[in-house]
Amino acid sequence: MSANASVRVRYDLDRFAAEGGETHQNRDGWGIVISEGSDAHYFREAEPASNSPLDRFVREHATPHEIMIAHVRRASRGNRLLANTHPFRRVHRGKVQHFAHNGTLTGIDDLSSAQRLIPHRVGETDSELSFLVLLDRLEEVGGACPDVTAKFDVFRRFCHDMTKLGTANFLWLDGSNLFVHADRRMRETERGLTPPQPPGLHMLSPEPDALGNSHHCTGAHLEDVPSHIVLFASLPLSDGPWEPMEQGSVIAVKEGKVIHHGSSIRP
């Protein structure tokens, strides 16, 4: 979520995961980032949210905020450990960064640009390593604090390269701007997981004040909804005007408004 004013979000990650049909496998950990100024509250656990005292604590002490990332993990690479639980956090050039990935990037450990970063990885996932690759590429941008346009171009090219390795749905929060890439995702069915297919993400970007004062989603209830708000989810979570994102869509959002839109299909 990105909004231009504080929103009170009451969530239920267990119901959120079940909406995606992932009633059994998507239970390998959870994490939430709640922005506050130049920093953010950061909660993670390598256990199902359904039986977590920490999850209940966060829910009961929810405070209004402008930006939030929530992730429920189904492990495809790496054991069920806190170190492998999304979102991942780093500080880069004095800015707190958060990153979450849905998908699998086969062979990223073999990339020359990634091999030298492996010793800096806390866990063992392809997702965390891809985050380190992204931050490393930011070093190529001149200046101590690259603007959002320069970051967007780095992110778009990064997404283009990562999609060559597998499925790459990304959320990256640089402190104030939310960068999103939509690729493909697997669905859980009675017969097992399907092959990756688009859309990887859906987007709700209503007209100003169209949602009213509150909006109910599966797994979340939003109160004090401001004039500008953008929501992203693997699947539509409400009756609102959710739109499937085209494969390769790259978006930058600030204060509930899309400020950059491009594609990772082209390098």
Question: 34 and 65 in contact (C-beta within 8 Å)?
Answer: yes
Predicted confidence (pLDDT) at residue 260 exceeds the cutoff of 70: yes
Question: 203 and 210 in contact (C-beta within 8 Å)?
Answer: no
Structure confidence at residue 52 (pLDDT): 75
Q: What is the percent of the chain with per-residue pLDDT over 70, rounded to a whole number? A: 92
Predicted confidence (pLDDT) at residue 24 exceeds the cutoff of 60: no
Q: Which domains does the chain have, with CATH numbers?
A: 2-263 (3.60.20.10)
pLDDT digits (tens, 9 = 90+) for 141-169: 866 678 999 999 999 999 999 999 999 99
Residue 259 tokens, joined: 């400020």
Cβ count near 34 (within 10 Å): 20
Distance from CA of residue 95 to its chain's centroid? 17
Token pair 């866990």 in the structure block, residue: 123
Structure confidence at residue 50 (pLDDT): 72
Max avg pLDDT among 62-71, 186-195, 241-250: 241-250
Name the pLDDT band for 15 (thresholds 50, 70, 90). low
Structure confidence at residue 53 (pLDDT): 79
Secondary structure of 91-145 in HEC code, one letter for each residue: EECCEEEEEEEECCECCHHHCHHHHCCHHHCCCCCHHHHHHHHHHHHHCCCCCCC
Lowest mean pLDDT among 38-47, 55-64, 109-118: 55-64
Question: 239 and 161 in contact (C-beta within 8 Å)?
Answer: no
Structure confidence at residue 244 (pLDDT): 98
Predicted confidence (pLDDT) at residue 136 exceeds the cutoff of 70: yes
Q: What is the percent of the chain with per-residue pLDDT over 90, rounded to a whole number? A: 67
pTM of the model: 0.92
Candidates 57, 71, 81, 61; CA nearest to 16 is 71
How far is residue 96's CA from residue 208's CA, in Å, rounded to a whole number? 29
pLDDT digits (tens, 9 = 90+) for 45-97: 988 777 777 877 777 777 789 999 999 887 677 688 999 999 999 999 889 99
Structure confidence at residue 193 (pLDDT): 81
Average pLDDT of the chain, as a whole number:
89
Name the pLDDT band for 22 (thresholds 50, 70, 90). very low
Predicted confidence (pLDDT) at residue 21 exceeds the cutoff of 50: no
